[in-house]
A and B are shown apart, each in its own frame.
Chain A
Amino acid sequence: MTQIELTVNGEKRSDEVEPRLLLVHYLRELLGLRAANVGCDTTSCGACTVLLDGKSVKSCTVLAVQASGHEVTTAEGLAVGGELHPVQAAFRQQHGLQCGFCTPGMVMATVGLLAENPHPTEAEVREGLEGNLCRCTGYHNIVRAVLAAAQAQAGQVTGEQVTA
């Protein structure tokens, strides 16, 4: 067993884990954070996407020990004070989810994508989400949601600049 220390959704954690334990199983089984799902065995589907130091990673391909010393954010940690994060709100507004299984991963991938590229074109959104699979939506409303979230976030930034 190996000792790991990390921050998950702003909370400091210290746990003993098997060296082979995957981050997604650490989050789900030890911490009870079950929004991230496992949808494949090959890092192909992205249902397990979380943020590691602000960048989106597939938590099925990260060992829990590799996350030691880092900051992990899951879908559970996005909403602040009961208010949906702009990306979550956009997914609801645009009907960007149906069965919900890919959704937490899709949302986290979007947060990561918009952090890297705050003003993506439709083609860039599609490229950026290529590693996140969805069987329900045909991706149409997911793309709409990401573009809407980008716009909403840009609006917020502009708003802050105006007041400053």
Chain B
Amino acid sequence: MSILGTRVLRTEDPRFLTTGGVYVEDLVDERLDGACHVFFVRSPVAHARISGIDASAALAAPGVVAVFTAADVADLPTIPPSGPMNKHMQQPMLATDKVRYVGEPVAVVVVEQPYQGEDALELVAVDYEPLPAVLGFDPSDDTLLFEDAGTNVAGWWGNPAELKADLFDGCEVVVSQVIINQRVAPAPMESRGAAAVWGADGRLTAWIPNQGAQGTKGGLARMLNLEPSQVRVITPDVGGAFGAKFGADREHVIVAWVARELGRPARWSETRYENLIGMTHGRAQQHTITIGGSRDGDVLAYRLEVVQDAGAYVRAGGFLPMLTRLMTSGPYDIPRAESVAKVVVTSTTPIGAYRGAGRPEASAALERAIDLFAAEAGLDPADVRRKNLLPAFTEPHRTAFGALYDTGDYVTGLERALAAAGYVELRAEQAARRARGDVRQLGIGLASYVEITGMGEGEGSGPNENATVEVRPDGTATILTGTSPHGQGHQTAWAMLASEELGIPVEKITLKWGDTDLIPKGGGTGGSRSLQLGGAAVRQASQELIEEARQRAAAQLEASPADLVYDKTKTSFNVAGDPDAAVPLTQLAEQERLLIRAVFTGPGATFPFGTHVAVVEVDAETGKPTLLRMITVDDAGVVLNPLLAEGQRHGGIGQGAAQAMVEEVVYDTDGNPLTTSFADYPFVSATELPSFELVDSQTPTTYNPLGVKGIGEAGSIGSTPAVQNAIVDAVAHLGVRHIDMPTTSRRIWQAIRAAGQHSESEHA
């Protein structure tokens, strides 16, 4: 029986459960003996000129080795904005003449012992001449973050002048709404960190928690003005990333620079306070949606106008809106759709990728739009979705925005989710509660989505990834992968794929990743790419290894390769019909190294899809919401290991629901962050979430031989709008039309009151 598709327990777990993982802070390595510790002096003000830095008191403090400022690192380059954005918006390694957000690194204190750093940080005196904060989605140009740029608008995706004035002509129902997709903190449980040491040969070795050592190496080399060959990145265990640990950050560069400058190893461990202001944030988009159609529910036109608050420096904020635009029309067949995106800079923490990265934003806008349209037309939101979803297709479908959907059956996904939820019964229960005027009202929210996974990156043209498989004389196997697991369970999953071909049991297969000397190429883990590209490469390398072994075995047996049978249970070749004439794999490996490297290249990105149904209760007197149920169809093609796939869905659903209900990074009007600890940032806990009801659905893709698509982000894409729609639905009968996220008790209560006053004044 095939091991594929079965619930294989993770071989990673025993280590994590007993001694714990070895995260960067846990590293014990003789190369790091005698390491100094790096601490960052961070700006306490949102926007100011730096008029002076006095480090004398800090330098005199116990254990302080050195203090460095921008002048010391003047040899390092500035970091240009991503995407086609204003090139004057350059990010320095340490703040030079200005600081542009609370948390921006201004100086570095290097100490012998960590506790000394906490003490010495406070002794660095920085003189700030405050400037007005630049905030919001429409910052005026009265105060400029970058004087040379002449504007706070970093750039555009699409041309606003090309929006069609007649887009909604002929629509009987047209609805508009401004929707805030709020700023949230990725907040992996492990914050950032680094350890760095330089060899006598002038080579840097850096241990950095990341999502792809090869990308991190490239970033470090670029920012340190080094040849890539001069850098080795080693990935320790990584305690969560969620998009925010891709590449290298300026803190990582500084730690490496300090190690070189002082000629001794250097380490850095980010505190949670630093993490919540220093690590990139996610989302932070404003959506102005307009949707129009016929009174009986045909959606005819849709416009999405995006403003991306990129934060103080344009990192992923420069291209996230491009992904949002790509997915504008989602799973629907909308005859006329258009979108445009503006990117602005503000005096806040820079925005980066966060689970879904641009696609959850598209889905959130569209799914609110569909519900707003349904409400305006007086139709059931499920019926509007049924009517407008693209019909099932097996040949790729090109959207007006250039996305090429591989395979999909969106209507079936919707129907399965509705059936599992008991949608008809839920609507009856809702009607009964409304009729009775119950305090606790029921809300049912839907979200149908399609998302893009496994986009092109790495070697060659199409999306691809490499794997090396080696069988050893002792009967074990080793896999080298260009992916970079940090919770996804690749050690188990990749071993399953190799085991299927080789017959070697999963427990005897070791996975290695994240050492750029060992694995020079790789795209890492992100954008839900790993299984469909990296997993497919493992399968391909394993199959090619068996073919190579077959040739060698045939030569030994003086038989034709075609006459040989590979017996997986014995991991041995024999001539068909003659079990005695056998050559075991181990024997071949002993004679000559048995190792194959393969690169799998897919024809393009794949598009998982599904429907989420959220059921909530809202106390109509206090506004308190309770998420009762989450029923989801997340169809990402064939499932390799249900245990792992479900785990990915659970995590995504939880994170998405957290954005809908509780989480938000908040700044005051002066640009001071108010959510700088887990006491203030409402990181979702077990008490706020229900158990999830997952519906199985597997529509294979033809883009890889496994038939798989990505599952890492889908959960967060469907759940956010489903929960938000459910909250609005719970109080829709009271006249509420929209509530921005997070849908806190206060916001719901305010919306109910505002709707009540509105209807009272209408009646008066």
The residues of A with any CB-CB pair to B shorter than 8 Å are 18, 20, 28, 32, 34-42, 44-45, 47, 75-76, 78-79, 84, 88, 91-93, 95, 97-104, 107, 122, 125-127, 129-144
Contacts and interface: CB of A to CB of B under 8 A. Distances in A.
A95 B19 contact: no
B interface SS class: loop
Interface string B622-660: 000000000000000000000110110011111101000
B272 A42 contact: yes
Given A39-B190, A39-B272, A41-B271, A100 B685 contact: no
Contacts of B187: 135
Contact of B189 (A79, A125, A134, A140): A134
Given A92-B14, A92-B17, A99-B238, A138 B189 contact: no
A144 B26 CA distance: 29
Contacts of A125: 686
A100 B655 contact: no
A98 B647 contact: yes
Nearest to A45: B678
B677 A44 contact: yes
B10 A95 contact: yes
26 contacts: A18-B115, A32-B28, A34-B20, A37-B23, A39-B190, A42-B677, A91-B13, A97-B13, A98-B487, A98-B488, A99-B239, A100-B21, A100-B237, A101-B239, A104-B16, A107-B17, A126-B689, A130-B685, A133-B683, A133-B685, A135-B240, A135-B683, A137-B650, A140-B654, A141-B646, A144-B691
Given A39-B239, A137-B650, A139-B654, 14 more contacts: A34-B19, A37-B189, A39-B272, A44-B677, A88-B18, A91-B13, A92-B10, A97-B16, A99-B237, A131-B685, A135-B189, A135-B655, A136-B647, A143-B686
B146 interface: no
B185 to A, nearest CB: 10
A101 B17 CA distance: 10
B17 A98 contact: no
A91 B677 CA distance: 28
Give the most central of A41, A91, A122, A125: most B CB within 10 Å: A41
A99 B189 contact: yes
B9 interface: yes
Contacts of B651: 98, 135-138
Contact of B23 (A95, A101, A144): A101
B174 to A, nearest CB: 37
A41 B677 contact: yes
Contact of A84 (B14, B26, B677, B687): B14
Contacts of A143: 686, 691
B87 interface: no
Which residue, of A99, A132, A140, has the highest number of chain B Cβ atoms within 10 A?
A99
Interface string B246-282: 0000000000000000000000000111000000000
Contacts of B17: 75, 79, 84, 88, 91-92, 97, 103-104, 107
A17 to B, nearest CB: 12
A100 B239 contact: yes
A136 B115 CA distance: 30
Nearest to B9: A92
A9 to B, nearest CB: 11
Contacts of A47: 189
Contacts of B21: 99-101, 103
Given A40-B272, A41-B677, A93-B9, A141 B18 contact: no
Given A95-B643, A98-B647, A138 B655 contact: yes
Give the one of B9, B188, B189, B686 with max A CB within 10 A: B686
A11 B272 CA distance: 32
Nearest to A103: B16
A44 to B, nearest CB: 3
Interface residues of B, number: 56
Contacts of A107: 17
Contacts of A34: 19-20, 22, 25-26
Interface string B712-749: 00010000000000000000000000000000000000
A102 B523 CA distance: 27
Interface in B6-62: 9-10, 12-14, 16-23, 25-26, 28
B487 A100 contact: yes
Contacts of A84: 14, 17-18
Those 10 A-B pairs whose CB atoms lie nearest each other, nearest first? A138-B654, A101-B239, A35-B20, A98-B487, A99-B487, A44-B678, A100-B16, A138-B650, A101-B189, A139-B686
Interface of B: 9-10, 12-14, 16-23, 25-26, 28, 115, 187-191, 237-240, 242, 271-273, 486-489, 643-644, 646-647, 650-655, 657, 677-679, 683, 685-687, 689, 691-692, 715
Nearest to B652: A138
B687 A130 contact: yes
Of the listed residues A36, A45, A97, A139, the one surrounded by the most CB atoms of chain B closer than 10 A to its CB is A139
Contacts of B242: 135
A42 B189 contact: no
Nearest to A123: B687
A53 B272 CA distance: 28
Contacts of A75: 17-20
A132 B17 CA distance: 16
Contacts of A99: 21, 188-190, 237-240, 486-487
Contacts of B486: 99
Interface centre among B10, B19, B25, B489 (most CB of A within 10 A): B19
Nearest to A131: B685
Nearest to B242: A135
A126 B486 CA distance: 25
A130 B189 contact: no
Nearest to B7: A95
Residue picked from B190, B191, B273, B689, most chain A C-beta under 10 Å: B190
B677 A137 contact: no
A91 B187 CA distance: 23
Contacts of B677: 40-42, 44
A39 B691 contact: no
A41 B277 CA distance: 14
Contacts of A138: 650-655, 657, 689, 692, 715
B18 A95 contact: no
A127 B691 CA distance: 14
Contacts of B647: 95, 98, 136-137, 141
A22 to B, nearest CB: 10
Contact of B20 (A95, A104, A141): A104
Nearest to A89: B17
A133 B643 contact: no
A101 B23 CA distance: 8
